[in-house]
Structure 1
Amino acid sequence: MPMLTVAQVVDFLESVAPLRLAEDWDNVGLLVGSLERRVRKIMTCLTLTERVAGEAVEREAGLVVTHHPLPFRPQRRWTTETLAGKVLWDLAAARICVYSPHTAFDSASRGINQVLAEKIGLQDIRPLIPNAETPELGVGRQGTLPVETSLLEFAQLVKNALGIKYTRLAGSPRTQIRRLAVGCGAAEDLLEPAAEAGCQAFVIGEARFHKCIEAEFRGMGLLMVGHYASERFAMEHLAGMLQEQFPQVEVWAASAEADPIRWV
């Protein structure tokens, strides 16, 4: 099977999600390995766990594209006594490279927030906080629904779109909404910009208790679909994009990955 270099894959990934879109605090790009490494298999995932890393090793991936960076923060030592140390030790031993687009992919033109906004049926979609250099790109998304609906009815629509059984809701279920914002993952800092943009609701991965109270104070509905549900679909989407771009190699989204949070 023909192979390509990590550098070729990185060039494509950075055309999809330019790293200049990443937040200053983030750790993006090639995190482990060599640009010269030749690969014939690529795996995408939301988060590198021991189970997901095991799948990469077992199926002989040459490159893992993970949304959440590993490492995320500087580490003083790498040992198998920590999750990050164990995962990276196993991947390095198998010569598997690791790349993360993280917040650059969140804000990209075909990134997570854009696709999420489209999945839940928003129209007139645009960034919630436009990028200074490229206004059509930026952090979060905002848009309108085709018709006004209640927060409770919209919650059911979102569950159907994301294929989930449950979501958390803050605010009155009877609130009528038309304009809303989207922020994947833990994007609670976007609550204020969403309110300033006139959004009546905000779809988010997760938010802390006091942010729910703040949303209620502002008269906004807050729909918390879960961190995993708000982002995992995009890594499956990215696997499809990579497979289309590089048909000579095998690309897949990690099958061992699952939401670590359960409703009981």
Structure 2
Amino acid sequence: MSRRRTLENTVARKAKELVQVIESIAPRELAAQWDNVGLLMGSPEDRINGVLLAIDLTEDVLEEARQRKANGIVAYHPPFFHARKNLTDSDPAGRILLKAAREKMLIYSPHTALDACEGGINDWLATGIGPGDVRALVPHDNLPENEQVKIVTICPEESVARIRDALGAMGAGTLGEYSLCSFEIQGTGTFLASDQANPSVGGTGALERVPEVRLEMACSNRLVALAVLNIRQFHPYEEPPIEIHALEPKPMRNVGEGRRLTLDRPLTLKTIGRNLKNLLGVTSLQVSEPENPEAGSPMRHQVIGLCPGAGGSLLGAAMDQGCTLFITGEMRHHDVLEARSSRCAVMLAGHSNTERPYLDQFRDMLESRLDRLPIMVSDRDVEPLRLA
């Protein structure tokens, strides 16, 4: 059955709706620092009649979008990575961008954010190789807003509840779907009050030892000042002890650059290659096997590193984590030699070959969230290299 929708069954949407859906799948903060992802051309208030998905924004793709009445293009690769000093038709990239602007096209690029996210290109590539445990090769560091700092105070036990409730009411102690999260430690505090002090417990001029509770709660940076005010308001001490500790990001197991796949059972290079070709729809792969292979049966691989596109920068991380095979689109010659001499096999499928077949799955994800907005995969976006 054709996926093309009739005009009667479609509805235009604002660009910001498309952007929100894409970023709910592939949040921009997951992108590499060097990358240029997000809305690159157009206004969030623009009306979108249809969306064309492509790996690269070429003149052919731009013309296809016009012919298919799609005024939104999601180009996986950004059409420009760095700031341009001019925008003229004297170079191919400038010519394409000028034409897109004249056609009032909206352009969005998800690139490495779509690689890193759960259910993105990395995960899709891993599932096509074989069943097993999948995790990020280089995990993305995540620091939720509500866990940016830990605020600590020490108070009498009878004051813990009201201080905790006051901090919780302003948003501290929220961890995901849980609120009023805190930690308490009982101990003994000491103080020596001067003659000018007015202690709420004990007296002046002598060392006092009092039972106390250490109360800890996480909160965001923007709430620190309010948290301190609340502690001072509800704390019985004239000089309440307050500590503020910055917290470090935590690595996310399933989100980040590349993937480390531990297969349920080891597979030969031939079997893995067959699975990969079936997934990508290609007929050939480039393969490098380790130097001095052991005699006997073919080497089997259970721990595999992978990355779509040009993944050579992750080879070291893959080998450090015990991968005996690294799969990507393309790599530098000397990186392949390094892997070979380190007893790590390499399998190359072509840069965009490891990315383009994912667009069908991405289309389905967008369609399920943007009902009746035409989402189409480009027919003219093709691998620029061919076997001769």
Map of 2:299 onto structure 1: 175
SS of residue in 2 equivalent to 1:135: strand
Is 2:338 the partner of 1:214? yes
Q: Is the 8 A contact 2:128 2:275 kept in 1?
A: no
Secondary structure of the residue aligned to 2:107 is strand
Say whether residues 1:72 and 2:196 are aligned partners.
no
Residue 163 (structure 1) aligned with residue 287 (structure 2): no
Tell me, what secondary structure is at the counterpart of 2:346?
strand
- Report the AA paired with residue 344 of structure 2: M
> Helix, strand or coil for the counterpart of 2:141?
coil
Q: Distance in 2 between matches of 1:94 and 1:11?
A: 23
**Distance in structure 1 (CA, Å) of the matches to 2:27 and 2:278:** 31
What's the CA shift string for 1:191-232, capped at 9, x where partnerless? 000001101101101001001101101100100011111000
Q: CA offset at residue 33 of structure 1?
A: 0.7
> Residue 161 of structure 1: CA displacement?
2.3
Residue matched to 2:260: 142
Q: Residue 189 of structure 1: which of 291, 313, 316 is its match? A: 313
Matches within 5 A, 1:78-117: 78-117=87-126
Which stretches of structure 1, 4 residues or longer, exceed 6 Å deviation after superposition? none
What is the rounded CA distance, in whole Å, between the counterparts of 2:274 and 2:372 in structure 1?
40
User: How far apart in 2 are the matches of 1:30 and 1:175?
Assistant: 46
Contact 1:79–1:89 (CA<8 Å) still a contact in 2?
yes
Q: How does 1:119-138 map to 2 (within 5 A)?
A: 119-133=128-142, 135-136=252-253, 137-138=255-256
Deviation at 1:21, TM superposition (A): 0.6
Aligned residue for 2:35, secondary structure, equals: coil
The question of whether the paired residues in 2 share the 8 Å contact of 1:155 and 1:167 is answered with yes
Q: What is the Cα deviation at residue 177 of structure 1?
A: 0.9
Task: Please give the TM-score of this superposition, normalised by the length of structure 2.
Answer: 0.66
Rg comparison, structure with higher value? 2
- TM-superposed deviation, 1:176: 2.2
1:230 counterpart = 2:379: no
**Equivalent residue letter for 1:244:** S
CA contact (8 A) 1:57 1:91 kept: no
**Hey, what does 2:270 align to over in structure 1?**
152
**Aligned ranges 1:32-51 → 2 under 5 Å:** 32-51=41-60
Any unmatched runs of 5+ in structure 1?
none
Q: Is the CA contact 1:191–1:202 (under 8 Å) kept in the aligned structure 2?
A: yes
- Distance (Å, rounded) in 2 between the aligned partners of 1:59 and 1:93: 17
Secondary structure at the aligned position of 2:34 is classed as coil
Q: Which amino acid aligns with 1:126?
A: R
Distance in 2 separating the partners of 1:57 and 1:87: 13
- In the alignment, the residues of structure 2 paired with residue 84 and residue 45 of structure 1 have an alpha-carbon distance, to the nearest angstrom, of 16
Residue 156 (structure 1) shift = 2.2
Structure 1 residue 80: deviation in Å? 1.9
Shift in Å, 1:24:
0.7
Q: Is the 8 A contact 1:112 1:234 kept in 2?
A: yes
TM-score in terms of structure 1 length: 0.96
Q: CA deviation at 1:87?
A: 1.2
Alignment size in residue pairs: 264
Identity of aligned residues (%): 33
Which residue of 1 is the match for residue 28 of structure 2?
Answer: 19
Q: CA deviation at 1:153?
A: 3.1
- Paired residues of 1:175 and 1:221 also in contact (CA < 8 A): no
Q: Deviations over 1:109-142 (max 9, x none)?
A: 0111011101221411111111121513111111
Cα displacement string for residues 175-201 of structure 1 (whole angstroms, at most 9, x for unaligned residues)? 321110110000101000000110110
TM-superposed deviation, 1:263? 1.0
Q: Secondary structure at the match of 1:115?
A: helix
SS at match of 1:157: helix
- Contact 1:141/1:183 (<8 A) preserved: yes
Query: Which residue type is aligned with residue 361 of structure 2?
Result: H
| Structure 2 counterpart of 1:6, from 15, 35, 46 | 15
Q: Distance between the aligned counterparts of 2:131 and 2:286, measured in 1?
A: 20
Query: Secondary structure of the residue that 1:132 maps to in structure 2?
Result: strand
Moved more, 206-215 or 227-236: 227-236
Ranges in structure 2 where 5+ consecutive residues have no aligned partner: 1-9, 143-250
